[in-house]
Amino acid sequence: MEFTESAFTEKIEDFYHVSNLWTDEERDVQHMVRQFVDEHVKPYAGQWWQQGEFPPSLIPELGRLGVFGAHLPEVYGGSNVSPLVYGLMMQELERGDSGLRSFASVQGALAMYAIYRYGTEEQRRKYLPAMALGEMIGCFGLTEPDAGSDPSSMRTRAHQDREGYVISGAKRWITNGHIADVAIVWAKDDTGTVRGFIVPTQSQGFSSRPIKTKASMRMSATSELYLDAVRVGKEMILPQAQGLGAPLSCLTQARYGIVWGTIGAAMDALVECARYASSRTAFEHPIASKQLVQERIVDMQTRLLNMQLMARQLGILYQSDQLSYSQVSMAKRHNARAALEIARMARELLGGNGISTDYTAIRHMANLETVDTYEGTYEIHTLIVGRDLLGYSAF
């Protein structure tokens, strides 16, 4: 059967016409970000991934596109977009590469959101507009070498004295850590309460190191942070953040973005392999005409559809202020794993070509191993949802 190129793509990406439900604004923003990613990211993503660096030239362009902290009020440099519009932005960024969406998640949903939600008005006005434009880069330091899934066991300490706080400790696996201007650092104070601090990365005693051995998320900067008695003034504490619930609430924002972003990566891998199956011949016929190939494509398509419907309903819950963090956990757990399975199947269908970054499948697949792990692993989200459904904590 013959389809035009765009009709084929539309059918694969949106088999149930979920996009018919979008408003004009949602469709326009999606189109704008998609166009940017198609022109400025997709042709180069494989090369950037191989190089193992985030291209700095993209940062001001993403700032102009308005994807950093888009959901925050305009007075702080955001555009006050709805959760559904924000989700579609993340979807389109991750069609390019998970590292691109990660940059936007960390900048907007983690670092900017922490300042917006827990900072003073002065802190908001000082940092957020510059961060929205990408003129100032932020990172979010929660995970430590010995505290990932269980951040309550963090060792980083902030000792208070007359002038402010002295912070000591180490953070590991921090996205954008070695390219950041400011780090949101989570540390326990003298009473053992988790507090958040805005730490300029030029501070004496602060150092960072890139983690270079990654076989996943290679287009993203990932780092270790060291804080050796870093002194910050009292004005650098986020005063409203008291307790582990504060960083965890930031994670809810970023996890929501991942729910959408993973749809983009899955779509990209699926469209590519469906096209490939139509043109690649084996045993004298296109492999798309083989029953076992069709079964796999149908399985992938069904997984993608589940992801889309889950994300949309989550967005509706968010927009109507009914969202719980365990609902976000269920969708993060499902969508990250489903996207990973789709990318793995896509890689398989591409045969030998599937292991080359000339195609997108293996890059998405490798990236999605990280996405399935960070912002809470699959197991941790299972336990968050299990606790909510059944009332027993099984951590």
**Binding partner selected for residue 174 from ligand FAD, ligand TGC, none, CB under the kind-specific 5 to 8 Å limit:** ligand FAD
Angle at 207 between CA 201 and CA 212, to 5 degrees: 110
Cβ(257)–Cβ(105) below 8 Å: yes
Give the interface with ligand FAD as residue ranges (CB under 6 A). Answer: 106, 140-143, 148-149, 173-175, 217, 222, 370, 373-377, 379-380, 395
Could you tell me how far CA 131 lies from the centroid of its own chain?
17
> At 224, which amino acid appears?
E
163 is catalytic: no
Cβ(254)–Cβ(111) below 8 Å: no
Q: How far apart are CA 323 and CA 77, in angstroms?
A: 25
1 or 394: CB nearest ligand TGC: 394
Q: Which conformational region is residue 134 in: left (phi greater than 0), alpha (psi within -120 to 50 degrees), or beta?
A: left
Q: Among 252, 308, 360, 367, which residue interacts with ligand TGC (rule: CB under 6 A)?
A: 252
Q: Among 166, 170, 211, 248, which residue interacts with ligand TGC (rule: CB under 6 A)?
A: 248
Q: Among 52, 129, 151, 286, which residue interacts with ligand TGC (rule: CB under 6 A)?
A: 151
Quick note: the x/- pattern for ligand TGC over 159-188, rule CB under 6 A, is: ----------------x-------------
- In three-state secondary structure terms, 144 is strand
Residue from 54, 184, 177 nearest 128 by CA: 184
5, 348, 375, 379: the catalytic one is 375
Q: Check residue 351 for interaction with ligand TGC (CB under 6 A).
A: no
The alpha helices in 162-290, defined as continuous H runs, are 245-279
Q: Check residue 254 for interaction with ligand TGC (CB under 6 A).
A: yes
Q: How far apart are CA 183 and CA 138, in angstroms?
A: 6
Tokens of 199: 């730490």
CB under 6 A: which stretch of 26-34, 62-70, 276-284, 372-380 binds ligand TGC? 372-380
Q: How far apart are CA 101 and CA 220, in angstroms?
A: 9
199 or 297: CB nearest ligand TGC: 199
**Binding partner selected for residue 248 from ligand FAD, ligand TGC, none, CB under the kind-specific 5 to 8 Å limit:** ligand TGC
Q: Check residue 375 for interaction with ligand TGC (CB under 6 A).
A: yes
Q: How far apart are CA 380 and CA 309, in angstroms?
A: 23
CB 104 → ligand FAD: shortest distance, Å? 12
What length is written for the chain?
Answer: 395
Q: What is the size of the binding site for ligand TGC (CB under 6 A)?
A: 26
CB under 6 A: which stretch of 60-68, 250-258, 263-271, 312-320 binds ligand TGC? 250-258
Residue where the block lists tokens 């998320």:
217
Cβ(314)–Cβ(256) below 8 Å: yes
Give how far Cα 24 sits from Cα of 68, 88, 101, 241, Å: 21, 13, 23, 37
123 or 143: CB nearest ligand TGC: 143
Q: Check residue 249 for interaction with ligand TGC (CB under 6 A).
A: yes
**Binding partner selected for residue 327 from ligand TGC, ligand FAD, none, CB under the kind-specific 5 to 8 Å limit:** none
Angle at 306 between CA 36 and CA 265, to 5 degrees: 30
**Binding partner selected for residue 379 from ligand FAD, ligand TGC, none, CB under the kind-specific 5 to 8 Å limit:** ligand FAD
- Residue 112 DSSP one-character state: I
β-pair partners for 260: none
**Binding partner selected for residue 325 from ligand TGC, ligand FAD, none, CB under the kind-specific 5 to 8 Å limit:** ligand TGC
**Binding partner selected for residue 245 from ligand FAD, ligand TGC, none, CB under the kind-specific 5 to 8 Å limit:** ligand TGC
Tokens of 167: 């912070």
Residue nearest to ligand FAD (CB): 148
Tokens of 376: 């809470």
CB under 6 A: which stretch of 78-86, 245-253, 283-291, 296-304 binds ligand TGC? 245-253
Q: Check residue 367 for interaction with ligand TGC (CB under 6 A).
A: no
51 or 149: CB nearest ligand TGC: 149
Cβ(148)–Cβ(293) below 8 Å: no
103 or 359: CB nearest ligand TGC: 103
Residues that bind ligand TGC (CB under 6 A): 102, 105-106, 140, 142-143, 149-152, 175, 243-245, 248-249, 251-252, 254, 325, 374-376, 380, 384, 395
Write out the catalytic residue numbers: 375
